[in-house]
């Protein structure tokens, strides 16, 4: 059964099919939230909220629509609502320091994480969707309300900006970026 078939069944009242979608999407959604903020427990709560909203708004799912795009739109809304309720929390703002006991690869991941945290929201979002959620440009366009060429341009510019930020962070360290 495809995701779309399962969600169509859920939208028609077969709530048992929601378990199929939960098993398929709980990990990708958890990662979606972990890439946006660094609290695993909070990411679990936000993931649960997505599934609750999915059930609450199941009647809005249109047959033939991409379930993945639809559920990620819900996830974005859940996260934006979370940011409104927690104005002191900023998307990826509090990146933990890994301490002294990590190797060069872990250090590179830490630099990348800090560089991602400094990307403008629009750029970070298209990268998260295209590179970490493996969404096609068409799916990203549908989710964000953008044309495919616009998505391609944003991804290209986001990668350029990320590269520059990564090299600045790796050269100067991530603590010095805070003073800018």
pLDDT the model gives residue 153: 94
Q: For the chain, how long is the longest CA-to-CA vector?
A: 56
Phi, psi of 18 (to 5 degrees): -65, -30
Q: Any residues with CB less than 8 A from the CB of 169 and at least 6 apart, and which?
A: 111, 114, 115, 118, 177
pLDDT the model gives residue 7: 94
pLDDT the model gives residue 95: 44
- Write out the residue range of the structural domain in which residue 73 sits: 1-90
**Last residue of some domain: 67, 90, 113?**
90
CA dist 38 and 30 (Å) reads 11
Whether 28 and 84 map to the same domain: the answer is yes
pLDDT the model gives residue 75: 92
Cβ atoms of 113 and 95 closer than 8 Å: yes
Residue with tokens 């799916």: 139
Cβ atoms of 1 and 18 closer than 8 Å: no
CA dist 5 and 11 (Å) reads 10
Cβ atoms of 122 and 92 closer than 8 Å: no
- Give how many domains the chain has, as a whole number: 2
CA dist 22 and 51 (Å) reads 7
**Last residue of some domain: 30, 60, 90?**
90
pTM of the predicted structure, to 2 decimals: 0.62
Whether 36 and 116 map to the same domain: the answer is no
Cβ atoms of 76 and 143 closer than 8 Å: yes
Whether 133 and 158 map to the same domain: the answer is yes
How many Cα atoms within 13 Å fall on the side-chain side of residue 96? Answer: 9
Residue with tokens 């427990």: 41
pLDDT the model gives residue 71: 93
Can you say whether residue 13 is alpha, beta or left, with left for phi > 0 and alpha for psi between -120 and 50 degrees? left
Which of the residues in the chain have pLDDT under 50? 91-103, 176-180
Q: Is residue 12 part of a domain?
A: yes
Q: Is residue 99 part of a domain?
A: no
pLDDT the model gives residue 105: 62
pLDDT the model gives residue 134: 78
């Amino acid at each position: 059964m495809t995701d779309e078939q399962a969600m169509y069944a859920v939208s028609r009242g077969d709530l048992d099919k929601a378990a199929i979608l939960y098993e398929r999407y709980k990990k990708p959604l958890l990662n979606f939230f972990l890439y946006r903020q660094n609290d695993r427990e909070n990411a679990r709560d936000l993931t649960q909220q997505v599934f609750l909203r999915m059930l609450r708004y199941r009647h809005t799912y249109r047959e033939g629509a991409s379930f993945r795009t639809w559920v990620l739109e819900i996830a974005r809304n859940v996260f934006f609502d979370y940011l409104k309720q927690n104005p002191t929390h900023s998307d990826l703002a509090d990146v933990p320091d890994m301490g002294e006991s990590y190797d060069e690869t872990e250090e590179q991941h830490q630099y990348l994480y800090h560089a991602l945290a400094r990307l403008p929201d629009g750029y970070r979002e298209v990268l998260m969707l295209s590179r970490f959620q493996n969404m096609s440009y068409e799916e990203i366009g549908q989710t964000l309300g953008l044309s495919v060429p616009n998505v391609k341009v944003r991804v290209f510019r986001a990668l350029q900006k990320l590269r520059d930020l990564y090299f600045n962070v790796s050269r100067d360290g991530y603590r010095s970026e805070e003073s800018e």
